[in-house]
């Protein structure tokens, strides 16, 4: 179901990181984070997003992350979030909600 069909307002922001966003300006961040740049493994952008999520999310804000199950993002989220919850998982993917 779409946000419009459910009368939910959504603002979509395309940005290179969160530096341009003011403190406590978002209710939620939804991401499928990058883990490579070209063919090289590069986690810097994702780790920076996780670290800055607590700043840009309002109190109780949620960071929703979908990623390949074999990647260590859940462990990294546990370091930055007050609470993480596994929402769904199959052989290939994991969906985690982090409360910041």
Cβ(63)–Cβ(32) below 8 Å = no
Cβ(80)–Cβ(50) below 8 Å = yes
Classify domain 26-99 by CATH architecture: 3-Layer(aba) Sandwich (3.40)
How many helices (H) and strands (E) the chain has is answered by 2, 6
**DSSP single-letter state for residue 75:** H
If you search the block for the tokens 């840009």, which residue do you land on? 56
Q: What is the DSSP string of 3-21?
A: TTTTT--------SSSTTS
- Provide the whole-model pTM: 0.82
Q: Please report, in tens digits, the pLDDT of each residue of the chain (100 residues total).
A: 577 888 888 877 777 788 889 999 999 999 888 776 776 777 888 888 888 888 999 999 999 999 988 888 888 888 888 899 999 999 999 999 999 8
């Amino acid at each position: 179901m779409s946000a419009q069909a459910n009368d939910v307002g959504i603002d979509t922001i395309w940005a290179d990181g969160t530096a341009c966003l003011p403190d406590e300006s978002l209710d939620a961040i939804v991401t499928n984070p990058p883990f490579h740049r070209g063919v090289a493994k590069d986690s810097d952008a994702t780790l920076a997003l996780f670290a800055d999520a607590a700043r840009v999310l309002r109190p109780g804000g949620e960071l929703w992350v979908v990623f390949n199950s074999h990647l260590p993002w859940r462990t990294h989220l546990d370091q930055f979030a007050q609470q993480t919850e596994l929402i769904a998982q199959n052989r290939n993917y994991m969906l985690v909600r982090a409360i910041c």
